[in-house]
Structure 1
């Protein structure tokens, strides 16, 4: 390995592109371990809808931050930054390379760059925004965000009410765009970061997403959602794959429409993930099957 610094290989890209398979191949090649940076795979109770690695996949390489928390405990990007950096310090004592994988851009950035301490809005601002979401839906909040901060709107996961409301809170509290708080001076890390982006032809990716959703329904996603109804207002459950099925269970839409909406919202989310990671850092892009090229790239750096 060139230089003395340890290397964190971060595998990013849109949902369903094949990040898990790439991370496992890299972990096995470098005889190392994997940190998940998927903001929903932390939760034990959410498995099918979050596309967690299978038991077989988990057995192929040691994974961290999967099934690490209960849905009753909210786990922020700041919490993840603290815990992941502590773990990385231990792992780098025994490994030259560690793999991190996930599509949650905020959690990836927390570890690689650090997060700004965002100002807290008054409680009444949050309550007002939550009430607006409950009464008029997420579309109104999305339009508000697009008007007030088009820069953040372009890369944000706008299907996630928690993210939209948090951004609007900061804007209301400070009068400044949420995007203006993104850290301009990155935290110095004791390791180097190599960001590997995976992508493929858009039509093929969308077909994989549709097939994944059908597979989740066949595996019992609806039963998983039913079992989580008591926690439906938790931020992690206000997301794609769960919110649509709660709407079905409430009698608002038919099941077929709920499934179509999951597919549509997943495709939209994938598009935003690609936008985020294309703008993020020095991401090197590869096809999902090019793991040997990724290894060569990592070993040369």
Structure 2
């Protein structure tokens, strides 16, 4: 009988506000683990309150990885994440620790666990979002956006070619790299040589998740989220940027809405409503992606804690 000698890792996956961070911290402290963030907002410095970045005390209690890697005006791709996170995992195991992957960015998980093909695969949620955006702004406006971020592709794609505009923007928004860049330098990251316990934390009752999202957003407002965004707006690199809201960092939920509110586009009440709605939409997209992870086990973190603990015991060596 062949023994699986691959090192172990735990992946705590789930929509935003589902309790991943708290469980990752608890298990890391109990098991001598270290946390590897799988979150596309947490890689950016300065995105702290609005991105629910682990606090200083939490980072002091448990070693964290993949936080604060870039300034918000700098690009960071899923391929870079996979490479950087793989090194972090190897370092944790070399020190005798247990890596605990925690986050909700599906593309980052896919890149790390399964590797990337030449470019991201089609994403139904992202395509639906682009369709909705085109319905509001028109495909010509989206083609103009493509012209700004990838003039090479825009020159090849007619302003009325909705399908190709959608694909080019889909690739950029999913990966942070233009479709032209992907075609110039194909990337093929090997599958992760770890044995991974994949657990999805998701309340069975969607209303519970919505309540948690609303409560967390209000807590962020009380903790100074708008002051955080004011600080970002004052940074010269963002203040002088011609289109800051096109930057991947500022497409993080809440930040775009806060930026537009501070621009005077709508009042504080509408800002809160828009921020909560955008976060709920993010959670919906995350759940859609997670349903495609057929080898992941789903648990309601509020009512199935015993099941989570049982899955952990069965996975870890005795």
Structure 1-normalised TM-score? 0.77
Residue 216 in structure 1 maps to residue 216 in structure 2: no
- What is the correspondence of 1:1-301 to structure 2 with a 5 Å cutoff? 3-95=4-96, 97-118=98-119, 128-130=144-146, 144=162, 163=173, 170=179, 187-200=190-203, 201-229=205-233, 230=235, 231=238, 232-233=244-245, 234-289=247-302, 290=305, 291-299=308-316
Query: RCO (CA 8 Å, sep 6+): is it higher in 1 or 2?
Result: 1
Once the two structures are TM-superposed, the CA of residue 146 in structure 1 deviates from its matched residue by 11
User: Residues 235 and 111 of structure 1: is their aligned pair in 2 closer, same or farther, counting only changes over 3 Å?
Assistant: same
- How far does residue 294 in structure 1 lie from its aligned partner after superposition? 3.8
Q: Do 2:32 and 2:97's aligned partners in 1 also have CA atoms closer than 8 Å?
A: no
Write the distance in 2 (CA, Å) between the matches of 1:276 and 1:61: 28
Cα shift at 1:3: 3.5
Does the CA contact (< 8 Å) of 1:247 and 1:253 recur in 2? yes
Quote the offset at 1:268 in angstroms: 0.9
SS in 2 for 1:69: coil
Shift of 1:62: 1.0
Deviations 1:144-177 (A, max 9, x none): 579967xxx9xx8xxxx9517979x649x99xxx
Structure 2: unaligned runs, 5 residues or longer: 121-141, 150-158, 239-243
Aligned residues: 268
Q: Which runs of 5+ in 1 are unaligned?
A: 120-125, 134-140, 175-180
How far apart, CA to CA, are the structure 2 residues paired with 1:286 and 1:12?
10
Asked if structure 1 preserves the Cα contact closer than 8 Å seen for 2:77 and 2:176, the reply is no
CA distance in 2, matches of 1:165, 1:292: 34
- The residue matched to 2:316 in structure 1 has which SS? helix
User: How far is 1:271 from its partner?
Assistant: 1.1
- Conserved? CA contact 1:245–1:255, under 8 Å: no
Q: Deviations over 1:4-43 (max 9, x none)?
A: 2211211110000100011112212321211001111122
CA 117–165 in structure 1, closer or farther in 2 if over 3 Å, else same? closer
**Residue of structure 2 equivalent to 1:122:** none
> In the aligned structure 1, how far is the partner of 2:24 from the partner of 2:12?
7
For 1:201-220, what per-residue CA distance to the aligned partner results, in whole angstroms no more than 9, with x for missing partners?
21011001001111111111
1:183-236 CA-to-partner distances (Å, cap 9, x unmatched) read 9xx834321122110010210110010011111111111111111125234211
The TM-score with structure 2 as length reference comes to 0.73
RMSD: 3.5
Residue 68 of structure 1: how far off its partner (Å):
3.3
Following the alignment from structure 2 to structure 1, what is the Cα–Cα distance between the partners of residues 165 and 76?
29
Contact 1:35 1:100 in 2 (8 A): yes
CA-to-partner distance for each residue in 1:48-84, whole Å, 9 max, x for gaps? 1101122232233111112233224322111111111
Q: Please state whether the residue corresponding to 1:194 is helix, strand or coil.
A: strand
Q: Assess, with a 3 A threshold, how the Cα gap between structure 1 residues 164 and 56 changes in structure 2: closer, same or farther.
A: closer
